[in-house]
Amino acid sequence: MAGKLKIIDCRGASRIIVVGDIHGDYEAFRGVVKLFNPDRDVIVFLGDYADRGDMGVEVIEGVNDLIENYGDRVVALKGNHEDYRDGEPYFQPCTLIYEADVKRGGWSNYYNSFLKRFIGRLPIAAIYDGILFVHGGISSKIRSLKDLEDPTPEVEEDVLWSDPWGGFGEHPNFRGAGILFGVDVSESVCRALNVNYIVRSHEPRKALDGPYVEHDGRVVTVSTTRIYGGRPFILSIPTENTPKNGYELMNYVVMID
């Protein structure tokens, strides 16, 4: 890993499994684990493991176990619900605090003995052969891969919090962090990074029934949680080791009907 950018190693793997927001939906997470075969797969989690759902502790610890057991076969990105500043969540709601109080004997000990280290090892972006994986989005502050490898706080906030919109330019985000980035911004950043697609999560309501594609096919939103009423799914992206005609970004698997 180059700083906070993970270059995905797919040697020996035939596909990448991409997992969107989970938000404490442990049943969906277990479905993902059942699909994952470390002999042939690389799995990419796009962040937002806890909060809103009631089993965030179990999801986070499950993701951590996958990292420990399978190394580079598991890429777990930081989402905005992993955005803690001076030990305090920079987002709401943070129901993980109440979970840790009940399940792990107190928030302070859980955060300092486990969660802080878990979050500290998460990159903010990953890249594989023309595909950029992030939680939220991008901004015009990203002019090269170096901006993701060693991001300023402003760039990291944009990656964790930003959302695409159908117009042009950059505008304030209703979330109070990050930006709304337009079609021209995604086009210019993709050109600067030499990628064709941006695969992200952060907006599960956009992807209730499958991948949501916008910005002339350049931006794909994924969701792997039932918390917002949708059907959890994963993207299955063939690697260079799989014969194909282009990346089948729309090849997705519904986890739970």
Sites in the chain below the pLDDT cut of 50: 245-247, 249-250, 257
Share of the chain above pLDDT 90, in %: 90
* Rounded alpha-carbon distances, angstroms, from residue 172 to 164, 169, 206, 217: 12, 10, 19, 23
How confident is the model at residue 1, as a pLDDT? 59
Taking each continuous run of H as one helix and of E as one strand, the counts in the chain are 8, 16
Mean pLDDT of the chain: 93
Written as one string, the DSSP assignment of 173-202 is: -TTSSSEEE-HHHHHHHHHHHT-SEEEE-S
Assigned CATH topology for domain 5-254: Purple Acid Phosphatase; chain A, domain 2 (3.60.21)
How confident is the model at residue 225, as a pLDDT? 96
Distance CA 203, CA 219 (A): 12
How confident is the model at residue 186, as a pLDDT? 98
How confident is the model at residue 3, as a pLDDT? 82
- Residues 238/244, Cβ–Cβ less than 8 Å: yes
How confident is the model at residue 240, as a pLDDT? 80
Global pTM value: 0.95
Handedness of CA 205, 209, 52, 41 (dihedral sign): negative
Chain centroid to CA 231:
17
* pLDDT tens digits, one per residue of 136-179: 999 999 999 999 999 999 999 999 999 999 999 999 999 999 99
How confident is the model at residue 142, as a pLDDT? 98
How confident is the model at residue 257, as a pLDDT? 47
